A and B are shown apart, each in its own frame.
Chain A
Amino acid sequence: MTSVQGLVASPDADSQRTLYPYVTGTSVVGVKYKDGILLAADTGASYGSTLRYKSVERIKAIGKHSLLGASGEISDFQEILRYLDELIIYDDMWDDGNSLGPKEVHNYLNRVMYNRRNKFNPLWNSLVLGGVKNGEKYLGTVNMIGVHYEDNHVATGFGNHLARPILRDEWKEDMSFEDAVKLLEKCMLVLLYRDRSAINKMQIAKITDEGTTFYPAYSLKTFWGFSSFANPTKGAEGSW
């Protein structure tokens, strides 16, 4: 099997140099709302253009105060979960009544992602990290090249192009749970229509000061009832 050598070959060249992802998840969308954070992602993992796996949980709880959503290579996401597991366990072992909050976890992830990028061996993911600690809400994102920021609403992949504009227009401070869910569903529906890698099975996860809730996976109704959909060439037979 041949491989592409990037730059100067060092003694252990090619031993660790990720070139491209295989099994990938698509967009994750997150919003802040009155009681905390809501994250949404579909439960699909593609293999190239094949929608291969349809029941993959791409949002996971991290410690007591955070949720992590991931798009990109699933094997790298699974490895990140192992790193975070270790981080949380060691933090727990101090047994000092303090626990890592979302800001700290986001910072840790940023360091990991950026350092891997500098070694030309990235973890091929775009991550959304949201959480609440002591009433303070936090929502951030970090990707495979180490770009990171926090905001009232974030998204990965296609979500940046399709969901963020909707959120910029319709997101408000202190939205109710119902309004936030409806807004997320509006974004996810657009993604379902327009993202080839999206599947119609998604999960919403919530985090508040009380804890995390993973709602059961469900599917959205889609609308195809425009008359121009039923008969696109009406009045212009032979056209397309």
Chain B
Amino acid sequence: MDLNFNAPHSMGTTIVGVTYNGGVVLGADSRTSTGVYVANRASDKITQLTDNVYVCRSGSAADSQIVSDYVRYFLHQHTIQLGQPATVKVAANLIRLLSYSNKNMLETGLIVGGWDKYVGGKIYSVPLGGTILEQPFAIGGSGSAYLYGFFDQAWKEGMTKDEAEKLVVKAVSLAIARDGASGGVVRTVIIDSEGVTRNFYPGETHPLWHEELEPTTSLLDILSAPEPMNT
């Protein structure tokens, strides 16, 4: 792949983080590509940092993994020393510290999301360069280019957990439909005061978007079907 040094690097993946009344929902696709080959079609891009804080990874798989590993390690020690769960802000700032001080070498955009007892559900965006921004919702990765307009229209303050998760799944599904670097399944992680829930949404559970057809096992099934064929 050819890189243009003067433009921000577009990154394989779609990642999303949304706050709702009582927690956060993180979402991601599951495609890891090396060039045009799909190295892993079922990867898990939503990585645990602590019991109550997770991170969505985009960009270089190696860079995002090593940053997550270091932050998990630091947070583990921090939790022991603090005597209670780390806050989402602290986790996000550790991500920022590594991203900012190694900005010349890293190519990873991260969305940190979690729940702590002080401020509830929070989402922090840490894009390329190491900027940190707290947001009610965040999108990242190459697939996010197709979601700016969608969220401008569909995002609302004060959603319920179900509304938030549906929004996340719809968004990632739409991005997968148009971004070649995103694909596979939609994974979500919901974090609130009760704990963490992981969900898995394969293609059959998403609605069909424009010009997509209902999947079948074989043409033969279509030909032998009792209904008449339509054009």
Contact = CB atoms under 8 A, between A and B. Distances in A.
A20 B148 contact: no
B132 A78 contact: yes
A231 interface: no
Contact of A20 (B5, B96, B135): B5
A1 B105 contact: yes
A2 B130 contact: no
Interface string A11-23: 0001111111111
A20 B100 contact: no
Given A47-B8, A50-B145, A50-B148, A17 B129 contact: no
Nearest to B130: A75
Contacts, number: 60
B133 interface: yes
A100 interface: no
Contacts of A1: 60, 105, 107
Contact of B104 (A14, A55, A75): A14
B133 A53 contact: yes
B100 A48 contact: no
A42 interface: no
B129 A75 contact: yes
B131 A45 contact: yes
Interface string B98-114: 00100111010000000
Contacts of A75: 96, 100, 103, 129-132
A56 interface: yes
A92 interface: no
A48 B7 contact: yes
Which bucket holds chain A's interface residue count?
Answer: 20 to 34
Contact of B127 (A2, A4, A15, A23): A23
A120 B198 CA distance: 46
Contacts of B104: 3, 14-19
A79 interface: yes
B67 to A, nearest CB: 14
Contact of B128 (A14, A17, A23): A23
B188 to A, nearest CB: 23
Contacts of A14: 104-105
B127 to A, nearest CB: 6
A207 interface: no
A14 B103 CA distance: 11
A3 B9 CA distance: 13
Interface in A1-52: 1-4, 14-23, 45, 47-48, 50, 52
Interface of A: 1-4, 14-23, 45, 47-48, 50, 52-53, 55-56, 73-75, 78-79
17 contacts: A1-B107, A3-B105, A4-B5, A19-B104, A20-B5, A22-B131, A45-B133, A47-B128, A50-B148, A52-B148, A53-B133, A56-B133, A74-B129, A75-B96, A75-B130, A75-B132, A78-B131
